Structure 1
Amino acid sequence: MAFDPNKDRDYGTSAEIAGRLFKECGGVPRVMELLSLSRTRCYALADPDDPAEISYERVAILTRAGATAAAEHLARLAGGTFLPVSTSETSGDWHQLAAAAARQSAELTAAMLASIGPSGRTPGRVDPGEARELLVHVDGLMALLARQHALLQAAARED
């Protein structure tokens, strides 16, 4: 059976995660280059109807290339959340970071209240579409807080 890049993939399966990794790396041609695989072999790894599964080593190669889907999935399985933190920048404008955190927190609170408020799409609850929209706010705030955390850890080690 030919690979259909639009096939439904069950969330969290090897094929679904491979598909997300491929997209995050820039597509199959880039993955072919990174993994030294043929197009057919790459497609097989993301095909839910093919028994091929992506190896841990290949996932690691794609992760080093900037794809985070596997790390995010494993963090959820472990009961956590994956938060990439830039390790290249060791300084920060503390006032700017604090202001950005306050602003993003306020934006998240406003979006959440609008979602569950009487004029929201589903008053009193968050529907799946709203949840996806809110996750953008949550992810941004968590990434900013993780950055602050990393900077504070670096400052604490300066003694």
Structure 2
Amino acid sequence: MAFNPVKERRYGEPKEVVARMFEEVGGIPEVMKLLELSRTRVYALADPDSSNDISYARIARLTEAGATAAAQHLAALAGGIFVPVEKADDANWLALAGEASRRNARNIAALMESLGETERSPGEVDQQEAREILKLLDEQLGTLALQRAKLAAIAAGEVSTSPAAADR
């Protein structure tokens, strides 16, 4: 069961990052087990109307369980990007190149659409449009960084580029 919050959370705000982490580890039941908390407490941690905040120790526990949203968010706040490069060894080069191209096209299309005459703020990008485009751009940057890591591993001779390796 994936965590599907009902309340709107603006991309990049702390409660939205927490909600994404909950999704990444498998949803509320899994978060309840990992953090040893009740359903009500878990929901409160991602509720934008709640003053309950999640502790760093709990963020770390979710990150160890596979959630990367907090790492991505903190890296962006620090002026960088987070990429789990260990995934590069397993990446299928052709699928990765295709995904990078698709994400780039989505990002350009969203930017062009937001600048269009029929949008909320013709000729400029408003705050909500910026959040929507940032989400696409962050996904694109993650894919590009993974693509770079894969290429670096191939260039260093650390990853086989044989057809059998491409099937992984």
Match in the other structure for 2:140:
141
Match in the other structure for 1:150:
149
**Closer/same/farther in 2, CA of residues 78 and 40 from structure 1, 3 Å limit:** same
**Closer/same/farther in 2, CA of residues 56 and 88 from structure 1, 3 Å limit:** farther
> In terms of Rg, which structure is larger?
1
Contact 1:90–1:154 (CA under 8 A) maintained in structure 2? no
**Identity over aligned pairs, percent:** 49
The 5 Å alignment of 1:54-93 reads 54-85=54-85, 86-87=87-88, 89-93=90-94
TM-score, length-normalised on structure 1?
Answer: 0.65
Q: CA deviation at 1:69?
A: 2.9
**Closer/same/farther in 2, CA of residues 91 and 136 from structure 1, 3 Å limit:** same
Unaligned runs of 5+ in 2: 1-5, 159-168
How many equivalent pairs are there? 148
**Closer/same/farther in 2, CA of residues 124 and 158 from structure 1, 3 Å limit:** same
Please give the per-residue CA displacement for 1:52-111, whole angstroms capped at 9, x wherever unaligned: x54433222211223233212311321223344524515523xx6445534543443233
CA distance in 1, matches of 2:90, 2:40: 40
Task: Output the aligned Cα RMSD.
Answer: 3.6
Unaligned runs of 5+ in 1: none
CA distance in 1, matches of 2:103, 2:34: 36
Q: Which one scores higher on RCO, CA 8 angstroms, separation ≥ 6?
A: 2
CA distance in 2, matches of 1:125, 1:140: 22
The 5 Å alignment of 1:39-58 reads 39=39, 42=42, 48-50=50-52, 54-58=54-58
